[in-house]
């Protein structure tokens, strides 16, 4: 059973997410909070029973999502749920190492599906299709010296594909995909997929 925490200042949204998540047999909401300050306090109280994933609103009173992540120090994964789809907002959040950026008007079943994918696969970065469209808007000529193959791999990463899925599409081994990713991380001076996507957005690579 995976443990989930919901952090959102709107009770209707919060309660709706709790209801949707709790009907799935492998997910359980163990805690809720209405802002970042309350969330940090609740997490401290959970001690060793920390959530496996936190669904985090961006715009909240007292302490917003960005401020929360800055103060948050835990192994829990974080998926942002937001109404904001500006590419630079997405870039900034991904650069902080979040595991997903989904929109609140997403189909509830898709939200749960993405939660499960993030929890079951460390390679997976959950992005709503609208967010991907926004990322790809107005992209210009690439500025960094990445190969066409690296750009292709990076674009697939941003689409939420795992290394195995990318390998199947490109007819290469999963090990080769990971080798490409290692080179990409080195070239972009990052350490994970979310950060690579953030830099790729900033530099109009994807």
Report pLDDT for 141. Answer: 47
| pLDDT for 139 beyond 70 | no
Cα distance between residue 4 and residue 115, in whole Å: 9
Give me the mean pLDDT over the 108-124 stretch.
Answer: 91
Sign of CA dihedral 9, 118, 102, 140: positive
Cα distance between residue 205 and residue 189, in whole Å: 15
Domains of the chain (ranges; CATH) run 2-134 (3.40.50.2300), 140-202 (1.10.10.10)
- Pick from 148, 145, 154, 146: nearest CA to 197: 154
Give me the mean pLDDT over the 94-116 stretch.
Answer: 90
Report pLDDT for 202. Answer: 81
pLDDT class of 32 with cuts at 50, 70, 90: very high
| pLDDT for 12 beyond 70 | yes
Task: List pLDDT tens digits, range 161-192.
Answer: 888 899 898 888 888 888 888 888 888 888 88
Task: List pLDDT tens digits, range 53-92.
Answer: 999 998 888 888 888 988 887 789 999 998 877 777 788 7
pLDDT class of 140 with cuts at 50, 70, 90: low
Report pLDDT for 175. Answer: 85
φ, ψ of residue 146 in degrees (nearest 5): -100, 145
φ, ψ of residue 172 in degrees (nearest 5): -130, 165
Structure tokens given for 44: 């401290």
Give me the mean pLDDT over the 146-160 stretch.
Answer: 87
Cα distance between residue 202 and residue 58, in whole Å: 20
Residues 6 or more apart whose Cβ sits within 8 Å of residue 1: 26, 27, 28
Query: What average pLDDT does the chain have?
Result: 87
């Amino acid at each position: 059973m995976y443990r989930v925490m919901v952090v959102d200042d709107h009770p209707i949204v919060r309660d709706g997410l709790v209801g949707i998540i709790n009907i799935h047999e492998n997910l359980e909401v163990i805690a809720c909070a209405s802002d970042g300050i309350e969330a940090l306090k609740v997490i401290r109280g959970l001690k060793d029973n920390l959530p496996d994933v936190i669904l985090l609103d961006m715009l909240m009173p007292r302490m917003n999502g960005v401020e929360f992540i800055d103060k948050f120090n835990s192994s829990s994964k974080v998926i942002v749920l937001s109404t904001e789809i500006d590419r630079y907002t997405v870039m900034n959040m991904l650069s902080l190492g979040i595991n997903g950026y989904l929109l609140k008007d997403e189909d509830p079943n898709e939200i749960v599906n993405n939660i499960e994918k993030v929890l079951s696969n460390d390679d997976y970065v959950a992005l709503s299709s609208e967010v991907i469209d926004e990322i790809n808007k107005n992209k210009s000529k690439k500025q960094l010296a990445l190969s066409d193959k690296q750009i292709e791999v990076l674009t697939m990463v941003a689409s939420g594909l795992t290394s195995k899925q990318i390998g199947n599409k490109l007819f290469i081994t999963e090990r080769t995909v990971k080798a490409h990713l290692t080179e990409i991380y080195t070239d972009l001076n990052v350490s994970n997929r979310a950060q690579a996507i953030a830099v790729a957005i900033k530099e109009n690579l994807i």
